[in-house]
């Protein structure tokens, strides 16, 4: 189902739950879902090189964009202790990589017990196709995996 307004998305009793919308979109894109919980769908994406990358899909709520239903694709590359700041060299490297991205950006996502360096890309639910969704998930997974290699890690 494509939503025309946020009100339609939130309306009861015909509203489609965000997580169910993502699961259905993933099914059409031939992507397997690892888990589903309120506010997040998790995919363990297998890359062509045989490595795996975790991808989180979350609703993206922004009061300035109330007319659009947005969701964000996040793929983590680094786990950090809660509140830890990146070193100057690492932060500059990430900002330089941001400047070369055609879409999305690197960000620090706050978790309950730890923080994550994630690549993040926002899609418009109203208009996204299964193919666009697949390409966005793959894109995020590849970028996060490349960043993990930069850090000499494979945590996700």
DSSP state of 100: T
Q: Hey, is 80 helix, strand or coil?
A: strand
Residue 16 has a pLDDT of 64
Percentage of residues in the chain having pLDDT higher than 70:
85
Residue 67 has a pLDDT of 58
Q: What mean pLDDT do residues 136-155 have?
A: 93
Q: Which residue has the higher pLDDT, 154 or 53?
A: 53
pTM: 0.84
Q: What is the pLDDT of residues 19-49, one digit of tens each?
A: 898 999 999 999 999 999 988 999 999 998 8
Residue 12 has a pLDDT of 42
- What phi, psi does 94 have (nearest 5°)? -65, -40
Q: How far apart are alpha carbons 33 and 99 in whole angstroms?
A: 31
* Domains in the chain: ranges and CATH: 6-150 (3.30.1460.10)
DSSP state of 17: P
Q: How confident is the model at residue 13 (pLDDT cuts 50, 70, 90)?
A: very low
Using only the alpha carbons of the chain, give its radius of gyration: 16
Q: How confident is the model at residue 68 (pLDDT cuts 50, 70, 90)?
A: low
Q: What mean pLDDT do residues 88-111 have?
A: 93
Residue 65 has a pLDDT of 58
């Amino acid at each position: 189902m494509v939503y025309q307004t946020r009100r339609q998305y939130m309306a009861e009793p015909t509203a489609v739950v965000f997580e169910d919308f993502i699961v259905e979109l993933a099914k059409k894109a031939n992507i397997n879902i690892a888990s589903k919980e309120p506010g997040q769908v998790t995919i363990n994406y297998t890359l062509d090189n045989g490595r795996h990358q975790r991808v989180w899909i979350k609703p993206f709520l922004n009061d300035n964009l109330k007319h659009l239903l947005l969701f964000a694709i996040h793929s983590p590359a680094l786990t950090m202790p809660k509140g830890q700041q990146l070193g100057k060299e690492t932060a500059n490297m990430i900002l330089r990589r941001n400047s070369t991205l055609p879409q999305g950006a690197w960000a620090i996502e706050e978790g309950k017990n730890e923080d994550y360096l994630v690549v993040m890309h926002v899609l418009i639910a109203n208009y996204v196709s299964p193919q666009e969704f697949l390409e966005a998930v793959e894109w995020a997974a590849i970028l996060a995996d490349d960043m993990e290699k930069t850090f000499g890690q494979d945590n996700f």
